[in-house]
Amino acid sequence: MMPCYAPSFCPYLVTPPSTSVHGGSHHRRPTKRNVTILYPKMSLNNNNNNTSNPNPSSLLTSLTKLLWGQSLPPGLLVSTARATWNATWRLMMSQLAPSDPSGGYARPASKFRLPQKNISSPTSLHLYVALPCPWAHRTLIVRALKGLEDAVPVSVASPGQDGSWEFKQANGPGLSPGLDKANRCRTLREVYGMRKGGYDGRATVPMLWDKDSKEVLCNESYDIIEFFNSGLNGLAHNPGLDLSPSELKGKIEEWYSVIYPNVNNGVYRCGFAQTQEAYDRAVNELFGTLDKLEDHLTTSRYLCGEKLTLVDICLFTTLIRFDVAYNVLFKCTKKKLCEYPNLHAYMRDIYQMPKVAETCNFSEIMDGYYKILFPLNPGSIRPIMPSTSEHEILCRPHGRESLSAALPVFVK
């Protein structure tokens, strides 16, 4: 890493140093003539009458010109930087994304599962989410479709620079990051730590919290959406909507066993792969499954037939992020989702259902991926959003009504 110069740095008062490359194996001392020509180029800004505000980028550019002129950096420096970055990257990835012996991403299991918990009161629930997260997005959609907004208040965390979830002053209307409404904590880790016995594991979203018992009820997304679907009908404004009817449970489980490892987690297996072999395996399974889904949706409006189910919600939250994040950042580059006509129309069909679009915050999604996942995007530069993911495009007619005679019941 190049040094960062303090504002008081003045090139005219410093004797040009001897430079070396990796242990002094190569030395080059500028001549007096070289100093006279090069030093004025190291002015801290373009205005020679104002040198009070140094420009670090200009300093680095001038320094590299001093060291090796217009040529590329010496090969030994490049190889040393590459080795150093590779070692640092592997260290950071080991914390961000644990891997198996082959270098494939091994997602840690959720620690808190709902079936083993006793809920003291349905009115004591509080949901913690973050808008970039597809797993948390599932819970927001089912909460909205079932009409549970009043019964289950929500606190929206945002990613901090170290990758942890934190709470900050609300910065926008509607569903946007804000303060912790239940416990007034600064970070989600603090909330987890409030439970009896404390907690030193990963503080993940979504997380369902019991305000009365001060306990983490669940941090497994699928448990939460099943509970929201059937466990709170007495408080729901739309109790008639059943996203997991008994006659379809077998199909739901069958489809989920396909989309979870290969699509939901599959995009992460691509993005977090730490070997070429692990990436190749994950990307082939991902696009093989997308091809299968594209064919299936030719004659079926939803995965299990004419009815929207929980497994559709689980697929949707990955699809809606595919072109804006996974295709680029996670190297899922074989195709964009918009190149799958049936899948893209299927995604638009769900997006256009009442209340669903309000749960999709593309600015937060893109910031959460491109500006926070430093090992994957060290420059933190966020690309422009693809036009096919803009609201106006997503609201275009999807034409899938002809595949279904029965429409789901929603509260507008």
Q: Looking at the annotation, which residues are catalytic? A: 133, 268
**Alpha carbon distance 348, 391 (integer Å):** 10
For residues 329 and 369, the answer to whether their CB atoms sit within 8 Å is yes
Backbone angles phi, psi at 134, to 5 degrees: -70, -30
Looking at the DSSP bridge assignments, the partners of residue 165 are 159
**Alpha carbon distance 354, 243 (integer Å):** 15
For residues 93 and 376, the answer to whether their CB atoms sit within 8 Å is no
DSSP 322-390: IIIIIHHHT---S--GGG-HHHHHHHHHHHTSTTTGGG--HHHHHHHHHTT-TTT-TT-PPPPPPGGGS
Comparing CA positions, the residue from 114, 116, 97, 106 lying closest to residue 225 is: 114
For residue 263 the two structure tokens come to 């699509």
**Alpha carbon distance 29, 15 (integer Å):** 11
Question: Taking the chain, what is the end-to-end CA distance rounded to the nearest angstrom?
Answer: 55
**Alpha carbon distance 192, 199 (integer Å):** 6
Q: Which residue has the tokens 């919600």?
A: 313
What is the 8-class DSSP label of residue 401?
Answer: G
What is the 8-class DSSP label of residue 239?
Answer: T
3-state SS, residue 163: coil
Q: ∠ CA(152), CA(157), CA(162), 5° rounding? A: 155
Dihedral sign computed on CA atoms, order 168, 223, 354, 327 = positive
| Amino acid letter for position 296 | H
Dihedral of CA atoms 203, 208, 213, 214 in degrees, nearest 10, equals 30
Backbone angles phi, psi at 114, to 5 degrees: -65, -40
